[in-house]
Structure 1
Amino acid sequence: MMRLFARTAVMLGAVLLASCTPRASGPATEGVTDAMLVNPPEGEWLSYGRDPSEQRFSRLKVINDGNVGQLGLAWAAEMETARGQEATPLMHDGTLYVTTAWSILKAYDAKTGRLKWSYDPKVPRDTLVRACCDAVNRGVALYGTSVYLATLDGRLISLKQSNGALMWSALVVPNQQDYTITGAPRIANGLVLIGSGGAEYKARGFLAAYDHRTGEQVWRFHTVPGNPADGQESAALEKAEKTWAGKWWELGGGGTVWDSITYDAKTGLVLFGTGNAEPWNPAAAGRQGDSLYTSSVVAVRADTGEYVWHFQETPEDRWDYDSNAQITLADIEIGGKLRHVALHAPKNGYFYVLDAATGEFLSAGAFSPQNWTTGIDAKTGRPVINPEARYEKTGKPFIGMPGVAGAHSWQPMSYSPATGLVYIPANIAAFPYLAAQGWKPSEIGFQLGLDSAAVAMPAVPQVRAGAMAATTGALLAWDPKTQKAAWSVPHAGPFNGGTLATAGNLVFQGDAAGSFSAYAADKGRKLWSFPVQTGAIAAPMSYAIDGEQYVAILVGWGGLWDQFSGVLAHKSGATRNISRLLVFKLGAKGQLPAPVPLSKLPLDPPAFTGTKEQAALGAGFYARYCTACHGDAAVAGGLNPDLRRSAVLGNPKTMQAIVHDGALSPKGGGNGMVSFKSALKPADIEAIRQYLILRANEDKALGEK
């Protein structure tokens, strides 16, 4: 009875709230309008995917497969933020807008590279402790006379396009302990759309819409149900509640909308992807069932946020197979009939074609090696899960393919109407999953429910060599009609950059090894390459001014692969971070300055004086609280300190001061990591130190210097 009363009260409150909910103040009538977004002026790139369809296809063809070899560096701009760079620049009316790490926004003269203005939202540096995968930002939205920026610490900001003056700022996230924002906002008829990250912490996913003029929230769609005792906000969440078990709401549930948002002007729907359920290990929280609407594509009405349809790509997700890769709209012929479809290549390794208006499953094909299923039901699209992949039930390690980086992650794919192909930055990389026994949530750090220490990369040369050989990447041209690859270009390693397709029969992509290249869109032949001196993970874009076509890309290595993958982070080479915006045009002769030679502290650890039991305990603490920044098995990727090489290893008091007391935190007078005293006791920190000393000595014995 009490539960029924609670539900009735919530529904009544929703009706009352609807009568006073802010309404959109109307579409923009000057500057960037809705009509311009849907059909951008020749040469302009007005939204993250160029237009709302997210095709990332430029109609420009001044640069083409016949002359791309003449492409040269027109200008470059140095970034002061030496973190991962993931943004796609936007260009309107001769100004190039780009965000760097830490959510800093810069506006450049798109022809000359002159900096017009810069805006720093001053994100607290300790925000990084709740940011899954670096202090990255993927870009901005343009609408009317404003540019919209979402910040890592959870704000949505409106600035004047002309000078960067602040118009309004709104706090989007429910709290600033479990949520971050790294994605680019999108626009739908006067509404600014944004979600958040945090599904490895204690976040409840959502997509929210804000009035572009006032910053008032117009609607918010939650992707997972809340506490049943409080009632649910909609009938859609009432249905979703039946697919959960345990007390999922105590950990938020996950399902965050951290990247993909696509507005379909033809149907008036917003399609968006959702992240994994939380925790990854279902048994850790008593989770059972499909856990809607996690790891799904969801469609809501743009004006109200009302649920219309969903398609769950990874039911009962326990592998971090987010569906946050961008969703592309296209009109293609299927079965002799022209269909308006959504094209999606999420982390789980399958390429999906869905009806954009109804969510009807049309087809799916495996575009990357996978072992978590034995196939896909041809009628429903539902995966047949491999029993061995349910690692919490078997109690055994499962080497999952794809791994947590995904067969395709956030790095944007592109679609060419000219070739009918989709160009996917594909990863071929596995990940070991093992359920933790007796796992309990903590106040800080990842909430995964995994025993990551037990499956960390061992100091065994044969194992490392085998893992290294099996970890690769590719630029994949995929035919959505046949669900087959048209061609593929191998890369040395995974986590390469997003792609750009153009009417000049070209596909552009940067890679983790430090090159920016152009390929023939029809056949995949490499036609041009430029050494950018750093890993490139962002996607390029193209624009035109005074009849000249430009291609721009933000470069700078970082992100998930650098921070998580340990020895595998270096598969593409000794990748470094040099953060720059690079702009190319035909006939340009610009050169980059020679990079400063790489240097690193020597591997010269003190002798191991702890016990095996102490080191094993430290391994568990390290895996849970340190791996996300400092790398698997204590091997750092490059952005963050390699703790095996730290001078702190020989000074237990300094180690305690940093990890327990927060000596390097902003409150401690530093600009680094926060205190972990809420999760780790002094004895635990000493165990971590002994584990790091042991690991450093193991790798030194293998010949590492």
Structure 2
Amino acid sequence: MNTSIRILAAACLLSACAYFDRAPSDSSSSSRPAADVGAARLAAADGEPGNWMTHGGTYQEQRFSRLDRINQDNVGRLGLAWTYKLDLDRGVEATPIVVDGVMYTTGPFSMVYALDARSGELLWKYDPGVTKTRARDGCCGPVNRGVAVWQGKVYVGAYDGRLIALDAATGEPVWSVDTLIDKNRSYTVTGAPRVVKGKVIIGNGGAEFGVRGYITAYDADTGKQAWRFFTVPGDPAKPPENEAMARARETWFGDQYWKQGGGGTVWDSMAYDPELDLLYIGTGNGSLWNRQARSDGKGDNLYLSSIVALRPDTGEYVWHYQTTPGDQWDFTATQTITLADLEIDGEMRPVLMQAPKNGFYYVLDRRTGELISAEKYAPANWAERVDPATGRPVVNQDVADWTQGPRLLVPGPLGAHNWQPMSFSPDTGLAYIPVQEAPAMMVPDNDATFRGKSRFQVGSEPVALPEDADTLAKTVAAYKGRLVAWDPVAQKEVWRQPFPSIWNGGVLSTAGGLVFQGNVTGTVAAYDAADGDKLWEAPANTGVVAGPVTYEVDGEQYVTFMAGWGGVFPLAFGGLAANAKVQPEARILTYKLDGDATLPEPRRRAVAVPEALPPLTADAATVDQGRDLYNDNCGLCHGFSAMGGGVVPDLRYMDGDTHKAFPGIVAGLYQDKGMPSFAGRLTPEQVEAIHQYVIKRAHDLKDSL
């Protein structure tokens, strides 16, 4: 295909760049205009299974497809139809949107791609120009979970907080708004927008860095703000924004919560019921995690870790259900919110379902928020059960209250289910959940306060991973992943597929009796939806964490996985992913029956510990200081205890020239490569202590080989 690429003057327009690759005139299987999606079409999306028009497939967010051309009988014939290499090899978490033969998706740093869904040919791409050093302002890498489309526009939330509308036919920017309320706080946007009744709705992240959570709706045509709903109260010297915030204030204590930000960010899941006209949002953890430091150790701290129902026209509060009152474990309720109608005790009930981090599977009446049932879908020692009379967890304080001393918690802050989307099949009546066991030792810092922008602050001591081989091996063995089929009516597990580690991909179920998932081992697979038998598998060259989609063009069904290793576990805890193929390689992988395309050979990281390492010259006390400084300032990106996961450089492998440049790199020498400056944050003596600790860890690694 003859292509021409033209570059917009980004510095003059939205501080961004857009590139356009001209498509052939027949690039779509439809004569419709690009992204011709409105209210009626979205509300009836289940009737158009050939398209994937919104984040969860439909407003119900079931991630289930009625397509069945690919089924249990022929799934073994799946072959690669096409692949497209993304620009940046970082974490890939997007769910593609497919409308009338065109795929719209995103990569790291919020880059947007439009491709011919049959061939993978690039139609256009758009780079919002996010400054690479902004990666320091987020917990989990510069990831993005996808776009929304509406009436000829594509909407993306940029990592730096902008919400941008693009022309769906060309990729040219139409409008851009800054969604952030405080530039002195580390807000980020990684979630996919949703469009409801002509309003683009977006939240944000940053609770671990000290922000106040909120969600905002903007006019889809103009970008004008329509409403904003705060999820936690602000400065008590100012009047509350509404009655919901007035009620929330009664559940917070002391004078630290609003100074620390409060948290409760809406960084991922939403769902919408057109009949009830209710928008459901999931809110995140507290800021700080430590309730002793955040709220004098008491109070439910509304609306942390909650499901909240709002009116999409106005943002008016309707009801809430708090999965983890007074959350101090990072047990977010931002995981997939799924709507369905289930027969319970002989009665059809409109329900809302969620498997949040805390290990309990919740079934609520979505009209009122009433708890129908909640049972453990994974090991959870922090609570015995959820009391059906009160809807509250019965907390095991001796185990759970880590503010009183170190506690081993299951699940830990990584959760029993993280952001990777689950699926629900109305055919089988089962939910399919990427479950994980990820224990954590929590050690309190009860005097913690807000430490400023770009600082990870949770009210616990710096995280460290075991440095001796035997303890590390035991820790690795304790981290277990699996795909679980869960009966939400009987509240019991039906089948499971185990994986060698956590951080496996999101899930898709189909009318072909299949469940698709990528995983930590660098493969993609299909399972029998009824019994979990593996029916198909293919290499992906890298860990896969995003949720797959399926669509149909010109009578051919396709299945697409966004592949790319990243997120908080590979970055911070990569040393625990012992069985993962963690080389970062970001690609779109699309399959069809009898596809015969070839996946390029995986890129092997040619890394080895240098033969000549700098000598360790510091005493034990300095190395210990360096360990704590490293884990506090560097571990979240380069791996705690200097054990990297391959997404960004593992500092144990630095060569001699890099060791010599180490002070300059920390001071900002590599900012153009995305390494932020720590000048003014670390003294030269502290930088040298960190360097000595890294040198020690390099020697440790070399001695172990």
Structure 2 residue aligned with 1:693: 695
SS at match of 2:398: helix
- Distance in 1 (CA, whole Å) between partners of 2:485 and 2:188 is 33
Q: Deviations over 1:328-351 (max 9, x none)?
A: 000001111100010000111110
User: 1:140: how far off?
Assistant: 0.5
SS at match of 1:310: strand
- Distance in 1 (CA, whole Å) between partners of 2:540 and 2:175 is 37
Q: Is the 2:214–2:231 Cα contact (8 Å) retained in structure 1?
A: yes
Q: 1:631 to 1:274 in 2, by over 3 A?
A: same
- Distance in 1 (CA, whole Å) between partners of 2:154 and 2:670 is 34
Q: How does 1:313-392 map to 2 (within 5 A)?
A: 313-392=323-402
Q: 1:63 to 1:578 in 2, by over 3 A?
A: same
Structure 1 residue aligned with 2:80: 73
Q: Is the 2:403–2:445 Cα contact (8 Å) retained in structure 1?
A: no
Q: Is the 1:196–1:258 Cα contact (8 Å) retained in structure 2?
A: yes
- Distance in 2 (CA, whole Å) between partners of 1:184 and 1:571 is 31
Structure 2 residue aligned with 1:202: 210
Which of 251, 254, 257 does residue 266 from structure 2 map onto?
A: 257
Structure 1 residue aligned with 2:559: 551
- Distance in 2 (CA, whole Å) between partners of 1:315 and 1:655 is 45
- Distance in 2 (CA, whole Å) between partners of 1:267 and 1:142 is 23
Gaps of 5+ in 1: 1-27
SS at match of 2:262: coil
Q: Is the 1:566–1:634 Cα contact (8 Å) retained in structure 2?
A: no
- Distance in 2 (CA, whole Å) between partners of 1:658 and 1:389 is 42
- Distance in 1 (CA, whole Å) between partners of 2:601 and 2:100 is 33
Which of 70, 77, 88 does residue 95 from structure 2 map onto?
A: 88
Which of 97, 104, 107 does residue 111 from structure 2 map onto?
A: 104
What TM-score results when the alignment is normalised by the length of structure 1?
0.92
User: 1:30: how far off?
Assistant: 9.3
- Distance in 1 (CA, whole Å) between partners of 2:311 and 2:100 is 31
The alignment status of 1:35 with 2:35, answered yes or no, reads no
Q: How does 1:1-16 map to 2 (within 5 A)?
A: none
Q: How does 1:47-62 map to 2 (within 5 A)?
A: 47-62=54-69
Q: Deviations over 1:365-422 (max 9, x none)?
A: 1111111112221222211222234444422x21211122211111110110000000
- Distance in 2 (CA, whole Å) between partners of 1:419 and 1:382 is 30
- Distance in 2 (CA, whole Å) between partners of 1:574 and 1:188 is 39
- Distance in 2 (CA, whole Å) between partners of 1:635 and 1:165 is 41
Q: Is the 1:391–1:433 Cα contact (8 Å) retained in structure 2?
A: no
Structure 2 residue aligned with 1:3: none
Q: How does 1:399-414 map to 2 (within 5 A)?
A: 399-414=408-423
Structure 1 window deviating more from structure 2 (689-698 vs 208-217): it is 689-698
- Segments ≥4 residues shifted beyond 6 Å: none
Structure 1 residue aligned with 2:527: 519
Which of 440, 451, 460 does residue 442 from structure 1 map onto?
A: 451
Which of 149, 156, 160 does residue 163 from structure 2 map onto?
A: 156
Q: Deviations over 1:137-167 (max 9, x none)?
A: 1100011111111110111111111111211
- Distance in 2 (CA, whole Å) between partners of 1:147 and 1:300 is 24
SS at match of 1:107: strand
Q: Is the 2:522–2:581 Cα contact (8 Å) retained in structure 1?
A: no
Q: Is the 1:603–1:644 Cα contact (8 Å) retained in structure 2?
A: no
Q: Is the 1:606–1:650 Cα contact (8 Å) retained in structure 2?
A: no
Structure 1 window deviating more from structure 2 (34-43 vs 297-306): it is 34-43
Structure 2 residue aligned with 1:14: none
- Distance in 2 (CA, whole Å) between partners of 1:429 and 1:43 is 37
Q: Deviations over 1:614-637 (max 9, x none)?
A: 222222221211111011111001
User: 1:656: how far off?
Assistant: 2.3
Task: Specify the code of the residue in structure 2 equivalent to 1:37.
Answer: L
User: 1:284: how far off?
Assistant: 2.9
Q: 1:30 to 1:314 in 2, by over 3 A?
A: closer
- Distance in 2 (CA, whole Å) between partners of 1:309 and 1:117 is 42
Q: Is the 2:582–2:647 Cα contact (8 Å) retained in structure 1?
A: no
What TM-score results when the alignment is normalised by the length of structure 2?
0.92
- Distance in 2 (CA, whole Å) between partners of 1:339 and 1:437 is 44
Task: Specify the code of the residue in structure 2 equivalent to 1:280.
Answer: W
Q: Deviations over 1:583-642 (max 9, x none)?
A: 111111111122233321316542322122222222222121111101111100101111
Structure 2 residue aligned with 1:132: 139
Q: Is the 1:50–1:56 Cα contact (8 Å) retained in structure 2?
A: yes
User: 1:300: how far off?
Assistant: 0.8
Structure 1 residue aligned with 2:275: 266
Q: Deviations over 1:9-32 (max 9, x none)?
A: xxxxxxxxxxxxxxxxxxx99921
Q: 1:286 to 1:693 in 2, by over 3 A?
A: farther
User: 1:283: how far off?
Assistant: 2.5
User: 1:542: how far off?
Assistant: 0.6
Structure 2 residue aligned with 1:672: 674
SS at match of 2:509: strand
User: 1:461: how far off?
Assistant: 2.3
Task: Specify the code of the residue in structure 2 equivalent to 1:365.
Answer: E
User: 1:308: how far off?
Assistant: 0.8
- Distance in 2 (CA, whole Å) between partners of 1:78 and 1:264 is 36
Which of 587, 599, 612 does residue 592 from structure 1 map onto?
A: 599
The alignment status of 1:644 with 2:652, answered yes or no, reads yes
- Distance in 2 (CA, whole Å) between partners of 1:428 and 1:437 is 27
Structure 2 residue aligned with 1:24: none
- Distance in 2 (CA, whole Å) between partners of 1:469 and 1:160 is 49
Structure 1 residue aligned with 2:253: 245
Task: Specify the code of the residue in structure 2 equivalent to 1:112.
Answer: S
Q: Is the 2:609–2:698 Cα contact (8 Å) retained in structure 1?
A: no
User: 1:50: how far off?
Assistant: 0.6
Task: Specify the code of the residue in structure 2 equivalent to 1:310.
Answer: H
Structure 1 window deviating more from structure 2 (153-162 vs 612-621): it is 612-621
- Distance in 1 (CA, whole Å) between partners of 2:193 and 2:280 is 14
- Distance in 2 (CA, whole Å) between partners of 1:145 and 1:574 is 39
Q: Is the 1:649–1:689 Cα contact (8 Å) retained in structure 2?
A: no
SS at match of 2:209: coil
- Distance in 1 (CA, whole Å) between partners of 2:327 and 2:658 is 42
- Distance in 2 (CA, whole Å) between partners of 1:278 and 1:648 is 40
Structure 1 residue aligned with 2:293: 284
Task: Specify the code of the residue in structure 2 equivalent to 1:250.
Answer: K
- Distance in 1 (CA, whole Å) between partners of 2:641 and 2:574 is 6
Q: Is the 2:438–2:478 Cα contact (8 Å) retained in structure 1?
A: yes
Task: Specify the code of the residue in structure 1 equivalent to 2:226.
Answer: V
The alignment status of 1:426 with 2:426, answered yes or no, reads no
SS at match of 1:321: coil
Q: Is the 1:442–1:679 Cα contact (8 Å) retained in structure 2?
A: no
Q: Is the 1:187–1:263 Cα contact (8 Å) retained in structure 2?
A: no
- Distance in 1 (CA, whole Å) between partners of 2:187 and 2:324 is 23
SS at match of 1:610: coil
Structure 1 residue aligned with 2:29: none
Structure 1 window deviating more from structure 2 (283-292 vs 137-146): it is 283-292
User: 1:649: how far off?
Assistant: 9.3
Gaps of 5+ in 2: 1-32
The alignment status of 1:44 with 2:57, answered yes or no, reads no
Q: 1:532 to 1:566 in 2, by over 3 A?
A: closer
Q: Deviations over 1:102-160 (max 9, x none)?
A: 11111111112111111111111011010210111110001111111111011111111
Identity of aligned residues (%): 44
Task: Specify the code of the residue in structure 1 equivalent to 2:172.
Answer: A
- Distance in 1 (CA, whole Å) between partners of 2:60 and 2:252 is 33
How many pairs are equivalent? 666
User: 1:450: how far off?
Assistant: 1.1
- Distance in 1 (CA, whole Å) between partners of 2:75 and 2:403 is 54
- Distance in 1 (CA, whole Å) between partners of 2:448 and 2:35 is 55
Aligned Cα root-mean-square deviation (Å): 1.8
